[in-house]
Amino acid sequence: MMLRTAGRLVWLAVKITAAIFDYLFDVILSSPDNLRTARAGWMHRAARAHLKIFGGTVRVSGEIPKSGLLVSNHLSYLDIVVISSIMPAVFVSKAEVRHWPVFGLLAKMGGTIFIQRERRLQVGEVNREIETALADGALVVVFPEGTSSNGETVLPFRASLLEPALRGGYTISLACLHYNLDDGDAKTEVCYWGDHSFFPHLLNLLGKRRVRATVRFGQFNRTTDDRKVLAKQLHAAVLELKGL
């Protein structure tokens, strides 16, 4: 396990270096017409490469969305890598993520929209960024639980980040993530929650043989313009997608 962890740390450093050069040439120097789309495309390529470092495999079911708002449960820092490996997307994430090693760098370069939920004035700014991304035709991914869990259930959804989809009448899709390990307990060794510390958790995860992710996508038919009612409906729909 220690040799596997050490080897994967070296592999991770190589892939991060390659991803930075890819970002420099394909995003910065190419002067794309739509920077947001270019960054999401870069993140898609980087995520596919970085997922392999964890021995990661992804099994997908349901129709993969291409635009609109995607609402998902939240289990781990791997969630962004897993979803982004499937298709290009813009993510909304808590502000602390930007300071995490490796994943914070990838998130910032990939155009992630960061939010400090305790600052109510910033929620309005973030919603304007989300609305702009949706208007650009991007797929915007939000985790309305506001924090990650061990996956036994889905925590109640917060309604604040759903407003842009309501105002613009954009399509809302669902996703439900699940993880399995061949040689461990995914609830504690993949899911990142509670009192876990990031770097020890990451080192342990790098030592696992294989991380198996399952992503189920689902469609959602909106029937309300009340965001609090919508949050409850979406929560129920994700629970159903999860099979609870």
What confidence tens digit (pLDDT) does each residue in 8-63 have?
Answer: 999 999 999 999 999 998 888 887 778 889 999 999 999 999 999 999 999 999 99
Q: What's the whole-number mean pLDDT along residues 135-139?
A: 94
How would residue 119 be classed by pLDDT, with cut points 50, 70 and 90? low
Output the CATH code of domain 2-242.
Answer: 3.40.1130
Report residue 143 as tokens: 């985790």
pLDDT at 120: 64
Residue 106 scores a pLDDT above 70: yes
- Other beta carbons within 10 angstroms of residue 59's beta carbon come to 11
**pLDDT score for 122:** 75
What is the Rg, in whole angstroms, of the alpha carbon atoms belonging to the chain? 17
Instruction: Give the start-to-end residue ranges of the domains of the chain.
Output: 2-242
Q: Could you give the 3-state DSSP secondary structure of residue 197?
A: coil
Adjacent-strand bridge partners of 237:
none
Q: What is the pTM of this model?
A: 0.93
Contact by Cβ (8 Å): 179, 211:
yes
Q: pLDDT at position 121, please?
A: 66
